[in-house]
Amino acid sequence: METAFYLYTIVIMLACVASGSVSLSAYFVSRRRSFLYAAAMLLFYFLDLALIFQYEYLGQNTEYSLTLFYEIDHPQLKTLLALGVLEPLWLILCDFVGERRRWVRLGPAVVFVAISEIVVLALPVDEFRQWLFYTLRQAFLVWCLAFAAYRYATTKSEVDKARMRRQEPLYFVTFALCLCIIAEDVAMILVVDADAFNNATLLPLYISERNFSENFLLLAFAFFTMRAAADTLRLRFKEPPAADAPDTQAYVDELLPAFCERYGLTARERVILEEVLAGKDNQNIASAQQVALGTVKAHVHNILKKTGTSTRQQLTQLFWKG
């Protein structure tokens, strides 16, 4: 049993490292902060697992008392590690919906830390205190899900609604696994009696330090992060993708409406921008669109001015940031 938990933990830690590394690479290519936040989220979860791994390793040669079943080891450190996972997730969501207000971006983190400290310092050591301490993580996740649903319901932009709908698989996976995490915590902390375990086994130690549904949720985050980062790396950043590159047109079609709406580009400028992204020069664009060369130059000048860029390369880089 101990070997199984050992291998299980190693696999999840490796998944966090692999996905975090790819995400960090995508950040250096695209400079999209969401990839940096994702890398931080996965790093902190790796450290959280490493802490659990250390406890279990040290526990191999010591007698485990079931009186410690409801104890919270190093609560401040665990709060910090949980915040390191949850706050980057919240910042990714804020960036996705265009939320820039600092108090909104930092407020949930402050509330999370404050309530966690109150739970640790004010409540007696028992199963309810342990359950409430860990359930605050799910409360943070529920807040993220509720905020995303609110922004979807209140936005008047059909482009934004379409962007959000593309993230429905991640949203519903998060929602379902969040419910599973809560149910698992209720079962293992509030329902299961620690005295029912055999004192000779370390099984209570392994179970009390884990939530398997939470592990699966982070694996889901790692999967979606790696897929998005891999797409960014594949499409490259410093030069426009080749016109015949696989999936390039699909990504252009996905990003173009939101990009044009963000910078106030007209329908005609959108057509010209798509040609620029394909790597065509002004003469080729004029021939393809059957318009005067001067008209193309005027449209390109307006696009650069509206987007705050000075060259086609800068415009291409800005577009592929998403």
For residue 32, with 0-12 CB atoms within 10 Å meaning exposed, 13-18 middle and 19 or more buried, which class applies? buried
pLDDT at 217 over 90: yes
Structural element, H or E, at residue 48: helix 33-59
CB neighbour list of residue 204: distance below 8 Å, 6 or more residues apart: 64, 66, 69, 194, 197
* pLDDT for the residue numbered 312: 86
Dihedral sign computed on CA atoms, order 11, 167, 40, 134: negative
- Write down the architecture of domain 248-320 according to CATH: Orthogonal Bundle (1.10)
Range of 61-65, 127-131, 278-282 with top mean pLDDT: 127-131
Residues of the chain with CATH 1.20.1070: 2-235
Residues of the chain with CATH 1.10.10.10: 248-320
The percent of residues in the chain predicted with pLDDT above 90, rounded, is 38
Q: Between 3 and 8, name the one with better pLDDT.
A: 8
- Write down the architecture of domain 2-235 according to CATH: Up-down Bundle (1.20)
Q: Between 300 and 206, name the one with better pLDDT.
A: 300
Q: DSSP class of residue 296?
A: H
